Amino acid sequence: MIPSDTPLLLVITAAGSSTRMGTGVKKEYMTVNGKTVLSTALEAFLNCASFSAAVITVPSGKTAEAQSAVFSNQAIQPLLNRNNTRLIFTEGSTTRQKSVFNALKKLKESLTEKELSSSVVLIHDGARPFVTPEIITGTIEAALSYGGAAPVIPATDTQKIIAADGTITTHLQRSSIGCIQTPQGFDFNTLYECHQLASEQDKEYTDDTEIFDAFRKNKSMCVHVVKGSIQNKKITYREDIAGKGTDAGRGSSMLRIGFGTDLHRLVAGRKMFLGGVNIPCDKGELGHSDGDVLLHAISDALLGAAGMGDIGSYFPPEDPQWKDADSAVLLSRIWDDVTKAGWSLQNLDCVVETEAPKFLPWRDKVIDSIASILKTERCRIFVKAKTNEKLDSVGAGEAIKAYCTCLLTQEVQG
């Protein structure tokens, strides 16, 4: 049980840049079940205990963005009101350690000595939205008893110490190794003093437990661990929240497939184009444009997946300006629009049905050509050819047909 008169303080760090996410959106501002990661973490703490003040560290000049990420969650303001919690946004710094110290200084100048005395401060990563009430309560209780506390989960992989040259130098016993999570809880005044001493050193410490251990004067205090949870993971990669009703999840799970097909008559006196490559043949596709069935099937598949129409609506065949048009140029324009709408190509898979000419010798060139039109890697493209066993118009050599399926994904837009 946490004594009801214990002053509780909270620091949430969200001043980092999230470069590993690769989404263009700061990870703390992505959404989980309709709420930002940052506000979900804050909500968990405000729901669980009565904090007198909470400080959120934000990147320099980005306070308004952080405020909007927090207050877009409708649950926050009522929770702040309920416990009369002061919420302060403060600019972080170049390192996590400096950001935390900035936040502690902010608490020091915003609260009275009385409010700070025997208070417990929790330091939490803004990118850990799934912190549980058990972890929060357990950390506060242990911090009250021992002066410092942090949640721990057992190491699942065997840990080694590795030298700069890549050699393993020490084989650690897994049973005595723990992975430390946040929130880390401390007696406020002791942690503040430790950070002040640490800031005078020319060294960066791994976390607040190390700073507390290194500089605490009261040696009767220690950092005691409490049971953490694998659920309380720090979001580092997009996959960490994929599939959890998130923007990031949609980024990787917003998949759209497309399908396109096209058929053109084969006639003498026309050139045969497949995938933008002129393939020697005694016949070629009859068409208003160059008649490249493969590029037309690809165009329809891409437009269909993106929900942006079809090639006929883009380039009406009755429009004289598309007479003998280079289908590679048409596809390139379509793809420009599709990518501008935020879509990326995962892959496309095509089939060409034709009796002649032999396609296999041309396959590599055709794949290269399509990859070049779509400005993508050739490993995303595949084309195979079939004959039609002499059946139907394709089998009779009167027509050529192409099919394409594609998979598009959409990036997170913030």
Q: For Mg ion, which is the closer residue by CB, 141 or 285?
A: 285
Residue type, 179: C
What does the alpha-carbon distance between residue 111 and residue 115 come to, in Å, rounded to a whole number?
6
Per-residue binding string, Mg ion, 184-223, x by CB under 5 A, is ----------------------------------------
The C-alpha angle 75, 140, 120, rounded to 5 degrees, equals 90
Q: Residue 148's closest CA among 198, 87, 88, 212? A: 212
CA 51 to chain centre: 31
CB of 166 to Mg ion, least distance (A): 56
- Shortest distance, CB of residue 395 to Mg ion, whole angstroms? 20
Binding mask 366-385 for Mg ion (x = CB under 5 A): --------------------
Closest to 233 (Cα-Cα) out of 186, 269, 181: 181
Burial of 286 (0-12, 13-18, 19+ CB in 10 A): middle
Counting residues that bind Mg ion (by CB under 5 A) gives 2
Alpha carbon separation from 4 to 83, 140, 192, 378 (Å, rounded)? 12, 12, 23, 64
296 binds Mg ion (CB under 5 A): yes
Establish if 363 lies at the interface with Mg ion (CB under 5 A). no
CB closer to Mg ion out of 247 and 262: 262
262 makes contact with Mg ion (CB under 5 A)? yes
Q: How far is the CB of 344 from Mg ion (least distance, A)?
A: 25
Q: Compare residues 105 and 265 and give the one whose CB is closer to Mg ion.
A: 265
Query: Residue 299 CB, nearest distance to Mg ion (Å)?
Result: 9
Q: Which is nearer to Mg ion, 10 or 298 (CB)?
A: 298
**Binding status of residue 285 toward Mg ion by CB under 5 A:** no
Closer to Mg ion by Cβ: residue 43 or 262? 262
C-beta separation of 213 from 190 below 8 A: no
Of 182 and 299, the one with the shorter C-beta distance to Mg ion is: 299
Q: Which helix (H) or strand (E) holds 346?
A: strand 343-353
Residue nearest to Mg ion (CB): 296
According to the binding rule CB under 5 A, does residue 401 interact with Mg ion? no
Q: How far is the CB of 282 from Mg ion (least distance, A)?
A: 20
Burial class of residue 195 (count of CB atoms within 10 Å of its CB; 0-12, 13-18, 19+): buried
* Min CB(352)–Mg ion separation in Å: 13
Please report how close the Cβ of residue 293 comes to Mg ion at its closest, in angstroms. 6
DSSP 3-state assignment of 306?
helix
The two tokens of residue 48 are: 């669980």
Q: Does residue 124 belong to the site contacting Mg ion (CB under 5 A)?
A: no
The residues that touch Mg ion, with contacts defined as CB under 5 A, are 262, 296
